[in-house]
Chain A
Amino acid sequence: MSGTFTFVHAADLHLDAPFRRVDVADPRVRDACVEATFTAFDRIVEICIDRGAAFLVIAGDAYNTAERSFRAQSRFRSAAERLGEAGIRVFLAGGNHDPVTAGNFALQMPDNVHVFSATTVERVDFPSADDPHCALYGRSFGRSRETANLAREFKKGATDPFAIGVLHANVGGDQDYEPYAPCSLEDLRASGMDYWALGHIHKHEVLTSEPPAVYPGSPQGLDPNEAGEHGCVVATVGSSGVTTEFVETAPIAWDRRTVDLSDASSLDDVIAELDSCCASVRAAAGDRPVLLRIDLVGRSEAHAALGGPSVFDELVAEVRADQSSADPWVWIDRVRDLTRPTLDLDRIRAGADFASDLTRLVDEIGPDEAAEVLEEVLAPLRASARGVGLGDIDATSVLERARDACLDRLVAGEGER
């Protein structure tokens, strides 16, 4: 190895990917969300330039679909050209979302972009074969559902000063992600690579430090389950080895909070708790806007007030409007009312009236039956929805909330509203 150099490792850009499972009606917020993946990539480019990176490695899923939308390609090309002007090369491996197949690049990429082969592990000397600082080994997916262990095809050359493996893969069988290009840490170690630039897992993770096998995570979280930090990795290779630094890039943060309304007795209290929650979220996010999900919990006197057919929606809309008009905005994507009435269930359960019968009836319904009932009531809706996902609805929770809804009205007299 000759000299010290820095490179930036990114993956799973998912350019032009729509945010999933989010409900945004505000055009400003919507536009920011639609633009977020591009903004995150622009920040990676700025990091490359600011840090004087020698090259940028993208370990798969730069695009969101195999077709590679023209807009995504156009923006990618612009960014690559900007990097090219700074003398920074780009090494790109295709992943399951953007396998490298013939004809799926409509736009000609600039000369500083190298796309790794989809048929074999390709080796590239950097900066040149005459005076290599390192050798990059990369392999693109040739199809979306790549099930072969591609990591085993990587092998460091005997004369390589420093070897970087670039691969989109599920290392260790992460159950939350598709098992594409499955491999193990042992496979990675056996290759002899000095650094594994991995992609596929959207959460930043360093699998091992000997050698560094790093998932940078996606630069921008794409759905409510991808809260937390998102960015890229700046790796510096020197005589003492390689050091890595994670740098955040996401322009929009995801957050999920639980608000306990046990002490809330009125709708004003609920609004105050939501405002407080948003303030906390905004402080945690710094200067970034936030997509927020809130679960309201606790046995609360406000539960009954929230149970009305329009009260809850109107209350959430009011808080959402206030928070989304601020700068940076906090968009309350979804608020679930999981509060419970203040009723004494044990006392009701011990009685001999209708409410008691209903409460005991719920007690007798097991999870399976609850699921059956849930599916039974949702069957017409599912039929109407025609394949539209209704989300993960927990049958037991629904059953309990249904019981509470009945008791609210039967015992507290809400049925007359």
Chain B
Amino acid sequence: MRLARIEATRFGRLHDASLGPLGEGLTLVLGPNEAGKSSFTALVRYLLYGFPTEKSVSDPPYLSDAGTREGRLVFESAEGEWVIERSAGPKGGPSSARAVRGPERPGLIDELTGGVSEQAFKVVFGFGLAEMAEIERLRGTGDDIIGKLYAAGAGLTVSPQEVRAAIESEADALYRPRGSRPLINALLAKGRDVRTAIASLERDAEQLAADRDRLGELAAELESARVERDDAAAHHRMLLEEARTLSGFEEVVRDTEEELLGLRRRAREAAEVVSGTTVDERVLDASAEIGALADELSAFKKGIETARDLETQAGARATEVAMHLAEAGLDEASATAVDVTPETREGVERWREILRTAGQRAETAAEERDRAADAALVVSRQSSASGQAPAPRPAASDIVPWAVVVLAGIASAIAGTVSAQWVLTGIGIVLAAFAAAMLLRLRTGPGRAVPDTLLQAERVTEAERRAQETALAAERLERSLAEARREWDTFRVERGLFAVTDPVAAARVLDLVAQARRVDASRDEAEARLGVEERAIAAYVERVAAVATALGVPAPAGPYETPATVARLKERLDEERRAATDKERAIAEAAAADAAVADTEERRDHAAAQARGIIERLDVSGGLAELSAAVERAERRAAETQERWGELGGEYASLEARVGERERTDTMGKLRFELESVNERIAEHAERYAVLSVATRLLERAQDRYERERQPEVVREAERIFTTITGGGYPRLSVPLGSSPIEVFDAAARAKDTARLSTGTAEQLYLALRLALIGQLGAKGAALPVLMDDVFANFDPERKAGAARAVADLANGRQVVVFTCHPETVAAFEEAATEYTALTLDRC
């Protein structure tokens, strides 16, 4: 494939300009200045690699009048024809590769430029006179063309110089002797910072140690101050206590002196009381008897009253006995004969029942007889037709008993009323009423009827028989009653009931006699008790009289005066006792006062001695006043030492807190740990730095050896070309890697670096290097044309011919376009090349 045509649509001075057809080998383009030779050379590069920005300073902008830039390259081969088009724009401008003929090759640009950077193209493929020296200027940079020569010649895909640069770059990123950004440099700086911080902390630690020492000193001072404070306080307390004690003792002395005056006065007064007090010892000796009499006085008074009562009671009983006997109708003698035993009472009751029953029977029989007599009379009267017989009159024997009963009842009622025995009165009234009724009946009894004749006779007979029978019965019962009464009388008399015939009255008499006897017995008892009381009274009165007489107190005239005498005796006793007590108290008072005087004197002497002891011990002859002044001084001293101790304590606490805070922190530990980390990272990176640095040394040594022992083929080719160009003037080249100067050796083996070469010779050297390099590229950039823009201007004719031969040789295997405005240059190429294409350009 070859570049067939270069077309400038708009590019600098060129406007729809075209250069071509270009030959496969050498093409000579002759044009005057300003014909666009340099523009076409640059246009090729821009169309392949992109237009530079307008701000680029390394390349002219080649702006068209319209301010745009665009063009195209036409490539041809046996397979077809392709056009690469590009217009200026961002990132080099949009480009395209299209087939005019043959298959599409969208990656044509990359195929063409593969392995050749834009800078390499500019320096090696499309260069003008201005770029000739670039090949040396770019040594040691990323576009080191000579380094690439080495890589190519050393069988490597990369230049050892590039490798070395890369490794050095890595090493520099780790460490440089100067600078702060490399990693190790930064770590060293950080380590210094950490050490500075540690040193600061260590200085702080020194300060801390000093503070510790100061803390220890303060502790000692504090302890000393504490002791001093305690001593001062203790001294103050001691003096204060001593002052208080001394004051107390002196006060005791004063108080005891005053107290002694009073005590002595008391003693005198007590003695006077003792001497002025007399006591009747007889009274005190009789105090027991007087006390007893006084104690018994109440009983004595009661005894008098009791005797008086008993006497009255006995009199009342005698009256009552008399009343009972009077009621019973007995005198004392008759009453004495009455048997009032229970048997008598039962007998009386039995006889009363017997008599009553017998009386009733007799009365009933009498009534029966009377009725029968009445009936017989009636019947008799009836039988006599009208001869009525009058009713018999009551007999006197029937009336008398009832009259006696009436009298007895009346008597009983009267006796009961007199004696206030209302039961007896009641019984008497009832008995009298009943008997009166019976008498009335006996006087007013009814008459009987007379029976009819026959019947009346029978009836009369019968009535008479009946009357007889009832009369007999009544007579018999009357006899029985009389017999019973006789027996009752016998019984009654035998038991002293002489005048009492009626059993009821007898029973009443028995009761009265019994009552009289009980009352009489009570009277006897009262009289007996009266006797006892009277004897006790007499004895008491006698005792009182005896004591009173002994003590000169008038004796009592009788029992009733005795209490007054006893009271007088008691009063006397109390008086004597008070006198005795007063005297004893006065004696005791006098003794106590004497003892108190002695005790107080002792206390006074003791206090005085103690006070003297304190004064002597404390050497305060001025006494309490001087001691008080000493106390005030001690108090001030104690306050001062307390204040000093407080200040030291505050300082100690503050310092201790600061020291503790600093010592407890783990900042130092963390810093040391961080320093270890930094150092470890330095060590780690140092090893990597060592590897990289040694690697650069190895590369350096290897290059040196290689340069010495294995000159790269490309350099040898450049050497050959340069020798050809210079006509053997410089048979050897030295092209070291890196930035060391290129040297040429003349026929005498004298070395010259490019700075010492003429401009033309140097340009010849650079051309030789380019030609050798391009010759060694092989497949790299095989289809790229080599564009030389009047680079032979400074060559003399001889060397220009040599250069033309070298270029013609290159054109044998690669497309070469030589732009020139010098016809002689064209001539030289026409001389050197067997085949070429000639083109001309007109001035734009």
B163 and A415: CB pair below 8 A? yes
Query: CB < 8 Å: which of A357, A383, A405 contacts B695?
Result: A405
B681 and A388: CB pair below 8 A? no
Flag whether A188 is at the interface (Cβ < 8 A).
no
Interface residues of chain B: helix, strand, loop or mixed (majority): helix
Q: How far is the CA of A309 from the CA of B182 in the complex (A)?
A: 12
Q: Which residues 637-688 in B have Cβ within 8 Å of A in the complex?
A: 659-660, 662-666, 668-670, 672-684, 686-687
Query: CB < 8 Å: which of B188, B690, B699 contacts A393?
Result: B690
Supposing A69-B663, A71-B666, A106-B212 touch, asked if A398 and B687 sit within 8 A by C-beta, the answer is yes
Q: How far is the CA of A401 from the CA of B205 in the complex (A)?
A: 45
A21 and B680: CB pair below 8 A? yes
Flag whether A146 is at the interface (Cβ < 8 A).
no
B677 and A25: CB pair below 8 A? yes
Supposing A380-B177, A409-B167 touch, asked if A21 and B154 sit within 8 A by C-beta, the answer is no
Which A residues are CB-close (under 8 A) to B673?
A: 18-19, 22, 24, 30, 33-34
Flag whether A288 is at the interface (Cβ < 8 A).
no
B680 and A361: CB pair below 8 A? no
A70 and B694: CB pair below 8 A? no
Which A residues are CB-close (under 8 A) to B276?
A: none
A391 and B684: CB pair below 8 A? yes
Nearest chain-B residue to A416 (Cβ)? B158
Supposing A16-B669, A405-B692, A409-B158 touch, asked if A358 and B698 sit within 8 A by C-beta, the answer is yes
Residue picked from A67, A351, A393, most chain B C-beta under 10 Å: A393
Flag whether A334 is at the interface (Cβ < 8 A).
yes
A21 and B695: CB pair below 8 A? no
Flag whether A272 is at the interface (Cβ < 8 A).
no
Among listed B80-88, B105-113, B702-710, interface-contacting one: B702-710
Nearest chain-B residue to A334 (Cβ)? B684
B664 and A381: CB pair below 8 A? no
How distant is B184 from chain A, measured CB to nearest CB, in Å? 7
Flag whether A390 is at the interface (Cβ < 8 A).
yes
Which A residues are CB-close (under 8 A) to B184?
A: 381, 384
B663 and A362: CB pair below 8 A? no
Which A residues are CB-close (under 8 A) to B212?
A: 106
Which A residues are CB-close (under 8 A) to B678?
A: 23
Which B residues are CB-close (under 8 A) to A351?
A: 155
Which B residues are CB-close (under 8 A) to A361?
A: 698, 701-702, 705
Query: CB < 8 Å: which of A23, A71, A380, A398 contacts B680?
Result: A23
A388 and B702: CB pair below 8 A? no
A378 and B683: CB pair below 8 A? no
Residue picked from B191, B686, B709, most chain A C-beta under 10 Å: B686
A21 and B166: CB pair below 8 A? no
Supposing A71-B669, A357-B710, A373-B697 touch, asked if A388 and B663 sit within 8 A by C-beta, the answer is no
A34 and B670: CB pair below 8 A? yes
A377 and B682: CB pair below 8 A? no
Query: CB < 8 Å: which of B158, B173, B693 contacts A309?
Result: B173
Q: How far is the CA of A8 from the CA of B799 in the complex (A)?
A: 98
A374 and B690: CB pair below 8 A? yes
Q: How far is the CA of A114 from the CA of B663 in the complex (A)?
A: 24
Residue picked from B659, B670, B679, most chain A C-beta under 10 Å: B679
Flag whether A413 is at the interface (Cβ < 8 A).
yes
B670 and A354: CB pair below 8 A? no
Size bracket of the A interface: 35 or more
Flag whether A403 is at the interface (Cβ < 8 A).
yes
Size bracket of the B interface: 35 or more
Which B residues are CB-close (under 8 A) to A353?
A: 154-156, 710
Residue picked from A21, A353, A388, A399, most chain B C-beta under 10 Å: A388
A381 and B175: CB pair below 8 A? yes
B175 and A409: CB pair below 8 A? no
Q: How far is the CA of A268 from the CA of B257 in the complex (A)?
A: 117
Flag whether A3 is at the interface (Cβ < 8 A).
no
Which A residues are CB-close (under 8 A) to B695?
A: 402-403, 405-406
Flag whether A347 is at the interface (Cβ < 8 A).
no
A354 and B158: CB pair below 8 A? no
Q: How far is the CA of A391 from the CA of B191 in the complex (A)?
A: 15
A354 and B154: CB pair below 8 A? yes
Supposing A354-B702, A402-B691, A415-B166 touch, asked if A70 and B660 sit within 8 A by C-beta, the answer is yes
A403 and B698: CB pair below 8 A? yes
Question: Would you give the 0/1 interface string for A339-380, flagging 1 where the beta carbon is closer than 8 Å to chain B?
Answer: 000000000000111110110011000000000011011101
Supposing A406-B699, A409-B163, A410-B156 touch, asked if A357 and B663 sit within 8 A by C-beta, the answer is no
Which B residues are CB-close (under 8 A) to A380?
A: 175, 177
Which A residues are CB-close (under 8 A) to B458?
A: none
Q: How far is the CA of A406 from the CA of B692 in the complex (A)?
A: 9
B676 and A357: CB pair below 8 A? no
Which A residues are CB-close (under 8 A) to B738?
A: none
Q: How far is the CA of A340 from the CA of B691 in the complex (A)?
A: 13
Flag whether B143 is at the interface (Cβ < 8 A).
no
Question: Would you give the 0/1 interface string for B705-721, flagging 1 where the beta carbon is closer than 8 Å to chain A?
Answer: 11001100000000000
Query: CB < 8 Å: which of B177, B670, B694, B703 contacts A374?
Result: B694
A381 and B686: CB pair below 8 A? yes
Which A residues are CB-close (under 8 A) to B665?
A: 71
Nearest chain-B residue to A382 (Cβ)? B686
Flag whether B160 is at the interface (Cβ < 8 A).
yes
Which B residues are CB-close (under 8 A) to A357?
A: 702, 705-706, 709-710
Nearest chain-A residue to B709 (Cβ)? A357
Which A residues are CB-close (under 8 A) to B660?
A: 70
Q: How far is the CA of A391 from the CA of B676 in the complex (A)?
A: 12
A18 and B166: CB pair below 8 A? no
Which B residues are CB-close (under 8 A) to A20?
A: 676
Which B residues are CB-close (under 8 A) to A358?
A: 698-699, 702
Flag whether B383 is at the interface (Cβ < 8 A).
no
Q: How far is the CA of A403 from the CA of B693 in the complex (A)?
A: 11
Supposing A309-B170, A402-B691 touch, asked if A23 and B684 sit within 8 A by C-beta, the answer is yes
Q: How far is the CA of A67 from the CA of B663 in the complex (A)?
A: 12
Can you name 23 A-B pairs with beta carbons within 8 Å? A16-B669, A18-B673, A23-B678, A34-B669, A70-B660, A334-B680, A334-B684, A353-B710, A354-B155, A357-B709, A358-B702, A373-B694, A373-B697, A374-B694, A381-B175, A384-B184, A389-B679, A399-B698, A402-B691, A409-B166, A410-B156, A413-B157, A413-B158
Q: Which A residues have a C-beta under 8 Å from some C-beta of B?
A: 16, 18-25, 30-31, 33-35, 67, 69-71, 74, 106, 309, 333-334, 336, 351-355, 357-358, 361-362, 373-374, 376-378, 380-381, 383-385, 388-391, 393, 398-399, 401-403, 405-406, 409-411, 413-417
Q: Which 3 A-B pairs have the closest CB atoms?
A: A70-B663, A391-B683, A377-B693
Q: Which B residues have a C-beta under 8 Å from some C-beta of A?
A: 150, 154-160, 162-163, 166-167, 169-170, 173, 175, 177, 184-185, 188, 191, 205, 208-209, 212, 659-660, 662-666, 668-670, 672-684, 686-687, 689-695, 697-699, 701-703, 705-706, 709-710
Other A-B contacts than A23-B680, A334-B684, 15 sampled, CB-CB below 8 A, are: A34-B669, A70-B208, A70-B663, A71-B665, A74-B663, A353-B155, A353-B710, A373-B697, A384-B184, A391-B687, A398-B690, A405-B691, A406-B702, A413-B158, A415-B158
